[in-house]
Amino acid sequence: MSTLALLLVLVLTCSASSAQRVQSKFHTDSATVSVTVIVDRFGSGNFTTVQQAIDWAPTNNNQWIRIHVKAGTYTEQVSIPQNKPYILLEGEGRKTIIQSGGHGSVRGTSTFTVNADNFVASRITFKNTYNVNKLIARDQDAAPNARPHIERAPAVMIWGDKASFYACGFVSLQDTLSDMQGRHYFNDCYIEGAVDFIWGFGQSIYEHCHIYSTHAFRGRLRGLAGYITAQGRLSSNDSSGFVFKYCIVNGDGNTYLGRAYRAYSRVIFFKSKLGGNVVPEGWNAGKFVGEEFQFTYAEEGCYGPGSNNSNRVKWMKTLNQRELAPLVSRHRFIDRDGWIKAQPSPS
């Protein structure tokens, strides 16, 4: 870090008192934050946009930097490059929103992209407004049974390893949360979408999260079902997969729990409450009809009106304790090196 950057850090540290700290409800053994800077769109902080704060962060940093984002709606695309690790991005709850309307190809369209390792976000909502705004307009102009053309519109895309999210919101319709690669942890988050809205090749645990499936279809087509997950495990030796522990699944749109994105797709719902909007079949083979024996789709200890598995697809797995334990254990599945507690404690 340059001398000028060090001087700036000392100045900005003095302003950190204006970011109110609250006691963490997640974990207490954590790394020390070296400096806090404040983003306020109205001009009372150190920066007025989130990207300005990211751009300021030193490259190849090895100390945690807290970026506190004041309440407000920040309409911008934000990207954290690979050479800017150790960032804690902290909002002020539901009133802190980062949004944009990128769409089409998943690359370059996400509202928020994390390319760096070692990232933490807490109490921020990430939103892609494109499909939502488009459907509102369609409802006003189109025939009631017209099928909408929904486009990929990611709210968040995660390429880095060791990323964790606490009490965050993720809102879009298609490809909402692009959990692309690496080990990730989500706690007490809200995730909303309609089509493949949690997808990718990530190795992730979602704990105490609210998964809300919204309808993307109006009129006589409203009964069509969406898909919560589209996980892309590539082989039997691939360690990736999505595990949902103690979650709530509901919404105003019918949905499958998942469809295969690659031939060894792996998704587990464990001790979660499944709403009546989950279709009886539960799972969909996607483009891999005939290869279903390679999937690992399982529901263990779930409850609620959508948990009746009497009409589930015949190829849904029933895992024994030896098979299940390493998948639902946070330590064994994603955290053998203790990276989660080594991160700063989120507020």
Distance between CA atoms of residues 92 and 39, nearest Å: 11
Among 164, 83, 101, 108, CA closest to 137: 101
Q: 98 near 72, Cβ under 8 Å?
A: no
Per the listing, tokens 């930097």 go with 65
Distance, CA of 296 to CA of 236 (rounded, Å): 10
Tokens of 331: 């330590």
Residues 123 and 166 sit within 8 Å (Cβ to Cβ): yes
Q: Write the CB contacts of 125 (distance below 8 Å, at least 6 apart in sequence).
A: 91, 94, 96, 97, 98, 168, 169, 170, 171, 190
Q: Which residues pair with 185 in a beta bridge?
A: 164, 205
In 232-282, the DSSP E strands lie at 241-245, 248-251, 255-259, 266-270, 273-274
The residues, ordered by sequence, that sit 6+ positions from 11 with a Cβ below 8 Å of its Cβ are: none
Secondary element (H or E) of residue 127: strand 125-128
* Catalytic center residues: 175, 196
Give the largest Cα separation in the chain, rounded. 66
